[in-house]
Chain A
Amino acid sequence: MNAKRLSLMSTCLVLSCLLLMPAGWAEFKKRQKVWSKHYETPLLAEPRPLAAVETTVGFGKKLTIREISGTWLRVKSDEGEGWVFQGNVATDKPKLAPDAGWSKIDAAQTDTVAAARPLAPAAESYAERNNAGDAKADIDWLDAEADAITEDETVLYMVENQLGEFQE
């Protein structure tokens, strides 16, 4: 009876630990399956950001880890093999493509980090009905500030501060 209870408790403990594990992030292992999560993910010839591009995979492609080097993974895809920074893959298959956002302007039309992102129309009318004009003006200001940050200055900041794939 005690052994049974102990076994049940162990099972519960293991299940609790599994439930508490953050989805999407885990330690990587060889032969593990991961998924691309950006529009285009270049697979590189070497584990460094400015290496030559071997091939490029689209959104939601299954990749198999062949080798691990620090924060970089050498992966195999249907399109070929190459190195990818671990932050650029997901351990669970992503549900929605980067272009799923209905309010997005075509990313090609802007050089900002994120395309212009106004409040949703339903939220705008919510603001009108609830005397939230000041809050709406605040969020509009916030969006303008965020939209003004360019991709170039972000990448420069990442290089200077050794962030993301620019870590050494």
Chain B
Amino acid sequence: MKTFSLKILTLISSLTLLVLPCASQAQIPGLGDISNAIKKVQKTKESTERISKGASGLSLEEEIAIGDAVALMIVQRYGGVWRDEAATYRVNLIGGILARYATRQDLEWRFGLLDSDAINAFSAPGGRIFITRGLYELPLNDDELAGVLAHEIIHIDDRHAINIIARGELLGGVSDLVADNNASYAQFESVVGGTADVILVKGYGSGSEYEADEGGRTLAMVTGYAPGGLRTVLMTIDGSNGENSEVFSTHPSTEDRLDRLPNDPPPVQSESGLSQN
């Protein structure tokens, strides 16, 4: 009798052990509570993994891959690269000097001009920065150009785009594609499209823009450029009465940005000897 009871007990225990791992896959009658508990644990684990990914951000490899693809989209949408050698030399020389003092020394910074009349500037993750011909030809002296480029450097230095991507849930497949494994092109392109949408249409948000204004002003100043460079550019644009159809379209209003920047005097005309056009 005792042996029989022991056998029954062993059988019930074995059945329970067999059933438990299945509980997360399907509702077992009478085991609803356990099933829900396991689901909860799984959900918590997934959330923890998401938070962990968001907190650590993308790998540098992923950031550069996404940023380079976004750069291609920017170039496509804004008339291609303006292949003016003197102007490209100037933006890369001044931009490169500013980038020497950026916090992120892990990036290879690149600066380019877009062949567009719009007045705008963009930064792609990974260190690629673009300004439009329309903005370049306002014209900008060296202090003003440094003010604009420093603002864009701070967007990358402070990982504004990367933080937005990392907060999202579109990252699946990016690592595989970057590693050239069984790539999910659709997922990669979804992340690239979402990032480009933030950079070209929605913007980073006013908080990040004000941060880039102030941080850019400091970066320009530390590098030796006049702190009022960006302010002067914004005042020039503010005084143009919206003659250009696209003026810093993804940024907060020029008035708001001017209100928040210190009232630095306009820089004196640069004498660097670099051709502005």
Residues of A within 8 A of B (CB): 19-25, 37-38, 71, 86-88, 90, 92, 94-104, 113-115, 117, 119-123, 126-127, 129-130, 132, 134-136, 138-139, 141-143, 145-146, 149, 153-154, 157-158, 160-164, 166-167
Which residue on B lies nearest to A153, using beta carbons? B93
User: How many angstroms between the C-alpha atoms of A149 and B88 in the bound complex?
Assistant: 11
Instruction: Tell me which residues from 214 to 237 in chain B have a Cβ below 8 Å from any Cβ of chain A.
Output: 214-215, 218-219, 222-225
Residues of A within 8 A of B104 (CB): 94, 96
Q: Which of A99, A126, A141, A158 contacts B189 (CB 8 A)?
A: A126
Residues of A within 8 A of B204 (CB): none
Residues of B within 8 A of A37 (CB): 103, 105
1/0 contact trace for B161-181 toward A, CB 8 Å? 000000000000000011010
When the two chains form their complex, are residues A123 and B69 in contact, meaning their CB atoms are under 8 A apart? yes
Number of A-B contacts (CB under 8 A): 174
Top 6 nearest A-B pairs (CB, nearest first) are A22-B215, A123-B68, A87-B101, A138-B81, A96-B106, A122-B65
**Smallest Cβ distance from A10 to chain B, in angstroms?**
20
Which residue on B lies nearest to A19, using beta carbons? B207
Contacts A38-B105, A130-B189 known; list 9 others, CB within 8 Å.
A22-B158, A95-B106, A103-B108, A114-B109, A119-B72, A135-B75, A138-B75, A142-B81, A161-B142
Q: Which of A20, A136, A167 contacts B224 (CB 8 A)?
A: A167
B243 at interface, CB cutoff 8 A: no
- Decide yes or no: A146 and B106 within 8 Å by CB, A22-B158, A121-B180, A126-B72 being known contacts: no
Which residue on B lies nearest to A99, using beta carbons? B106
Residues of A within 8 A of B107 (CB): 101
When the two chains form their complex, are residues A22 and B211 in contact, meaning their CB atoms are under 8 A apart? yes
When the two chains form their complex, are residues A120 and B68 in contact, meaning their CB atoms are under 8 A apart? yes
Residues of B within 8 A of A115 (CB): 108
User: How many angstroms between the C-alpha atoms of A102 and B59 in the bound complex?
Assistant: 10
**Smallest Cβ distance from B267 to chain A, in angstroms?**
13
Q: Which of B80, B88, B109, B224 contacts A162 (CB 8 A)?
A: B224
